[in-house]
Structure 1
Amino acid sequence: MTFRLKDSPLFYDMVQEEIDSCISCSKAKVLEFSKDEMIFTADAEPKSVFILLEGDILIYKVTLSGKRDIFMHVDKPGDVFGEVYLFMKKARYEYYSVTLKPSKVIEIPQDYFYYTCSENCGHHVKLIRNMMRILARKAYLFNLKLQILASGTLRQKITRYLIENMDGNTVRMTMNREMFADYLNVARPSLSRELMNMENEGLLVIKGKTIEIPDPNILDEVL
């Protein structure tokens, strides 16, 4: 099963033997969850790092008004989650992690990231170095979401998100419409209406979960 981890950022620059050694030495566990099952809750104490093997997971928090605020959608095997609050030494996660379909994850205890063994294994050093890269990227994503939410109008928020997630002239949406609305902190009908207006104006073309940007330069003028 660990062959699925070769593309994980946590095991970057490692061969399969090194990955297997990390999993074995860390006493990691494979956990299975049904759909709509919590992996961790907002009041749980962070004690582990999680890696997605298969499935679909949503990381979110609930505001005081009861609204769902989405931080991350985890659907790519090898993606890491739950690590930020672990290394911040927070007493609790403050976020929820729920499965959107049956999922499998690997749970690695926190101690493996704080201490190396007496042999100072090269793969262990690589793992810790890779975790630093992951934390840096998560800090970037936090900052990016703040920029998106501070963009002003709903159209500007949508535009900022699309520009930051373009691959060529295309954006592959991993979130459905309801999740995207929660991510932008807007009502779903308002989001759907604005997307339709932008499509009618030729700013974008929606094809299922793919959004095509005919002319990124024109879209950039929205900002």
Structure 2
Amino acid sequence: MEIKDTLLFQNLNTDEIQRVLHCSSAKLLAFEKNEEIISPEDQPKVIYLILKGKVILEQFNYMGKPMNIEYRMPGELFAQEDLFLDKNTFEYSVRTTEPCQILTANKNFFFQTCEKSCEHHSKIIYNMLHIFALENQQKQQRLELLTCGDLEQRIARYLMEVSNGNPFVDLSMNRNELSAYLNVTRPSLSRTLSSMQEQNIIQIHGRNQIEILDFENLHAMIDGL
């Protein structure tokens, strides 16, 4: 993904983008697959913008099991909340799930405008506020997903949300990650998916694809019917 195509840099021309990169001491970094970018002991100093690849944000309980998993895709940010909350350390780790190219920008650039009150600076701050609003909406949607009913209802709602009306759903998470995302055990997830397949509501194709066979019954599951 090109920098100009990201939400953070929307409505900025080429010259303005170059000024932002200079003023924010931006750096383009490359990471290999399964490389750790952030550990819980690290101090928030920069904002990360993914241009290529995918990363996973993980929190673990005292037994070492994942209790909160989020993904970030090209064009998305991470670590910005910790930066603006002025935290001393992170409460999660971040690692790559595939080779990545990531742009970093110094936090000081986002905390205040310069004495010239440059237009590109104001645009970036506005875009950041827009991103925060979108992320808040997404978190609200996940909260609704986790509290919408039993596991069958949660799976049905998740499939409807990610399918966008397409019967073939390519999963971005494996079974362990999806079970953590839905806040259930992996055996419970597997049993429920198998049950939905036996009811001819879905068809499981390999590890990463699910075909929705019956949208009407999937809607009925969401409604608890």
TM-score range, shorter chain: 0.7 to 0.9
- CA deviation digits over 1:34-71, x for unaligned, max 9? 32222111232222110112222101101223211343
Per the alignment, residue 194 of structure 2 pairs with: 196
Q: When the two structures are aligned, how many residues end up with a matched partner? A: 220
Instruction: Say whether the 8 Å CA contact 1:169–1:216 is kept in structure 2.
Output: no
Q: Secondary structure of 1:59's match?
A: strand
User: Which TM-score applies when normalising by structure 1?
Assistant: 0.88
Q: Hey, what does 1:102 align to over in structure 2?
A: 99
How far apart are residue 207 of structure 1 and its match?
4.1
1:210 and 1:21 map into 2 onto residues whose CA distance is 43
Judge conservation of contact 1:4–1:77 (CA < 8 Å) in 2.
no
Is 2:69–2:177's contact at 8 Å kept on the other side of the alignment?
Answer: no
The whole-number CA distance in structure 2 between the counterparts of 1:7 and 1:189 is 40
Cα 1:43–1:150 change in 2 (3 A) is: farther
Match of 1:18 among 16, 19, 37: 16
Indicate yes or no: 2:124 matched with 1:127. yes
Q: Spell out the pairing of 1:65-76 with structure 2 (5 A cutoff).
A: 65-74=63-72, 76=73
Q: CA RMSD in A?
A: 2.1
Look up the SS of the partner of 1:159 in the other structure: helix
Contact 1:42/1:61 (8 A) holds in 2: no
TM superposition shift of 1:175: 1.5
* Aligned-partner SS, 1:105: strand
Gaps of 5+ in 1: none
State how far apart, in whole Å, the 1-side matches of 2:98 and 2:157 are. 29
Is the 2:202–2:212 contact (alpha carbons within 8 Å) kept by the matching residues of 1?
yes
Deviations 1:72-115 (A, max 9, x none): 212x3221111112112222221110112232211111111111
Residue 153 (structure 1) shift: 1.8
* Unaligned stretches of 5+ residues in structure 2: none
Instruction: Tell me which amino acid in the other structure corresponds to 1:37.
Output: E
TM-score relative to the length of structure 2: 0.87
